[in-house]
Chains A and B, each alone.
Chain A
Amino acid sequence: MTTQSASKIDFSKVDEIIQSYGAKKSNLIAILQKVQETFRYLPEDAMIYIGTKIDGLSPATVYGVATFYAQFSLEPKGKYEIKVCDGTACHVRGSMPVLNAIKARLNIKSGQLTTDDGLFSLETVSCLGACGLAPVVVINEKVYPQMTSDAVKLILDTIFQEEA
């Protein structure tokens, strides 16, 4: 029998995080947040590990919490995290064509989160509270207002050039 996934992570880091918060069920969310910050996502093995180290939890229950809250990601995020707002205002002002332009430029399929080279991850989010600037795209915390398909392609081209 093997229950583990192929990717290897450094469990001493996970251990440190568990110890720093205390191995208690009530600290789970804080522990998961820190693990996500450290690894840029929640690796499956880290969730199993936490599930077996804290009494009253199990791998399945940790996974349950990780998939309940939108803040957690089970896939590695890209170096550039792109968020396209699809709140009502942004949607009406054309966020979907912008999203499709990004997908085409990054060659990313529907349902896929991160590009194969790990450079970009792409997701849609609900209203960012900047409706006056709609449609809005956020790349690593930087807000790009009033996006169009052409404008977003230019921004991505610049990043590609920097990374080349």
Chain B
Amino acid sequence: MTENKKTLFIDDKEVEFTNEPNVLEVIRKAGLNVPTFCYRPDLTQYGSCRMCVVEIEGRGIQSSCTMPPEAGLKIHLNTEKTRRIRKTVLELLLANHDRECTTCDKSGHCELQKYCEEYGIRDIKFPTLQKEDFLPLDTSNPSIIRDPNKCILCGACVRACTEFQGHSILGFANRGSKTLVQPMAGRDFSKTDCIYCGQCQAVCPTGALTIVSDVDNVWKDITNKDKKVVAQIAPSIRVALGEMFGLEPGENTIGLITAALRKIGFDLVFDTNFAADLTIMEEANEFIERLKSGENLPIFTSCCPAWVKYIEQSRPKFLKNLSTCKSPLSMLSPVLKELLPKYFEGYTKENLSVVSIMPCTAKKIEINRCQLGTCGVQYTDFVLTTQELGRMIKEAGIDFKNLPPETADSPFGQYSGAGTIFGASGGVAEAAARTAYEVVTGKELKDVDIVQFRGTSDRSKTIELDLNGTKVTVRVVSTILEAEKALREIESGTANFQMLEVMACPGGCINGGGQPYSYNDTTIKAKRAAGLYKEDKGLPVRKSHENPDIKKLYAEFLKEPGSHKAHELLHTTYEDLFKGSYRDLK
């Protein structure tokens, strides 16, 4: 395809454009910028906030995010008019805003705060919202907080929930000055079908949607002399956390994270990648068994808790398709609680606190699932998102970038490349394929890179594998919107796949709801994923079943995949939660 190049003028400079959907993208591609609130490149344009206005000769004031580029346009970004409009927008928003910035969770990442600073807003000419008129906060769940007094009605969360999850838990309500963005009838999240993926929170420009912080709880355990506090780090953290300290997205900082955790005061540091290998051992085995028996196919991956909740509450007829494997996080925690007391002196099940560093807001819900333990033994004590860990590191005054890298503790310190790629959509399936191939065919898989599984922009992929004559088709999707389409194919009998990998977040956990904010940069997902594939490529072991620590764990403790002990610790059951959900009305 030949790209049809045309030009327009931005502040008298000639700029080329091709197929950019709007003037805003042309401006940004040229390395220039105008402020935005409601625009998010991954979502449909809404064009309501008027922050992105530009002045176009002969056309007057236009919102750059909704205006398609045309050849010859003469665009001015900063005129007296555009500045005045933006200032008025900011003042009106502030007038209706709880302006307690210092105690706000988004402080430092809030776009409202940032632009008010840049535009020097010092006083507000409009009557302002008074404390008596504040609406109550939604603190109903362990994952996400909604503060309606900080909402600027940009609608980004509504679009994220609709366009990613097909869910629309959040919506606009009322009209005029009474307009709100809220779940149905102003309910708490806990009284809706929210799956806690956190994508609404990730696109929210203000403190209206934020993550419930467990930072103080973790500090409390760390400073408690009687507690042994250990950490596990999910695959996708290593390629994202650095962004909070000025490093490039995708840069692998696992050594720095390990060092930082020890400096903070964690007694031992483990890598969830090891458990990802464990998950593959069990899940590949389960998949092969189901292929043989022909039962409960297609098998669904089960490591994304947002997806699991969706099946449990909205599509319980598919419960039997879910793999019974726990997620890597929830496999490692019981192994740590059972085995660390055997390996280390002074460790007991009771004094051990397991903290999981995750890219995910839904994991904060997962760890309370009764089915994951013997209900009562809390295997995972806390989940910290990437953002929360970044904050702890800053709070501890650690010079992150300049730490000497350290390695994880053993046992369970080694991991394969297959474990690492779990963090990107397609990674679980690729990792499973590497192991399943060798188990089924008994032959060595020469080309470990099965690249058809990769890519963060395509939210639905179908991959065909040839396991020595046995043809297997795998569907890889991210977002529940795409997953639901796959479910409907199964229902209508048109599905041709035997395995379905689902991640609720677009692109997978590298783009999880708890990752560092990347409001307007669409390249970040791909860079983080590339960081994972790079680590995979550089590792000596790239298949889960060849990880020496995994072999040792099976030899000494678990015996073989699917064994009784393995089932006890590594597998789980699911619950039909349809009763009382939105769809349970007859």
In angstroms, Cα B174 to Cα A46, docked, is: 18
B187 — nearest CB in chain A belongs to which residue? A3
Asked whether B317 is an interface residue with its Cβ less than 8 Å from the other chain, the reply is no
Asked whether B185 is an interface residue with its Cβ less than 8 Å from the other chain, the reply is yes
Q: Do B175 and A48 touch (CB < 8 A)?
A: no
Q: Do B583 and A52 touch (CB < 8 A)?
A: yes
Q: Do B183 and A60 touch (CB < 8 A)?
A: yes
The contact string, 1 if C-beta is below 8 Å from chain B, for chain A 136-147, is 000000000000
**Minimum distance in angstroms from B175 CB to a CB of chain A:** 5
Q: Which of B171, B192, B313, B586 contacts A61 (CB 8 A)?
A: B171
Q: Do A68 and B174 touch (CB < 8 A)?
A: yes
Q: Which residues of A contact B579 (CB under 8 A)?
A: 2
The contact string, 1 if C-beta is below 8 Å from chain A, for chain B 154-174, is 000010001000011111111
Q: Do B191 and A60 touch (CB < 8 A)?
A: no
Q: Which of A11, A44, A49, A60 contacts B169 (CB 8 A)?
A: A60
Asked whether A63 is an interface residue with its Cβ less than 8 Å from the other chain, the reply is yes
Q: Which of B167, B185, B580, B585 contacts A58 (CB 8 A)?
A: B167
Asked whether A67 is an interface residue with its Cβ less than 8 Å from the other chain, the reply is yes
**Minimum distance in angstroms from B581 CB to a CB of chain A:** 6
Q: Which residues of B contact A81 (CB under 8 A)?
A: none
Are A48 and B184 CB-contacts (below 8 A) given A1-B191, A1-B581, A3-B582?
yes
In angstroms, Cα B582 to Cα A45, docked, is: 9
In angstroms, Cα B191 to Cα A48, docked, is: 12
Q: Do B173 and A67 touch (CB < 8 A)?
A: yes
Q: Which residues of A contact B183 (CB under 8 A)?
A: 60
A8 — nearest CB in chain B belongs to which residue? B585
Q: Which residues of B contact A11 (CB under 8 A)?
A: 585-586
Q: Do B174 and A1 touch (CB < 8 A)?
A: no
A4 — nearest CB in chain B belongs to which residue? B580
In angstroms, Cα B586 to Cα A84, docked, is: 38
Q: Which residues of B contact A58 (CB under 8 A)?
A: 162, 167-169, 171, 184
In angstroms, Cα B173 to Cα A11, docked, is: 24
Asked whether A59 is an interface residue with its Cβ less than 8 Å from the other chain, the reply is yes
In angstroms, Cα B36 to Cα A28, docked, is: 32
Interface residue ranges, B against A (CB under 8 Å): 158, 162, 167-175, 182-185, 187, 190-193, 313, 577, 579-586
Q: Mind listing 18 A-B residue pairs with CB under 8 Å?
A: A1-B191, A3-B193, A4-B584, A11-B586, A47-B184, A48-B585, A57-B168, A58-B167, A58-B169, A59-B184, A60-B169, A60-B171, A60-B173, A62-B184, A63-B173, A63-B185, A64-B171, A64-B173
Interface residue ranges, A against B (CB under 8 Å): 1-4, 11, 44-45, 47-49, 51-52, 57-64, 67-68, 74
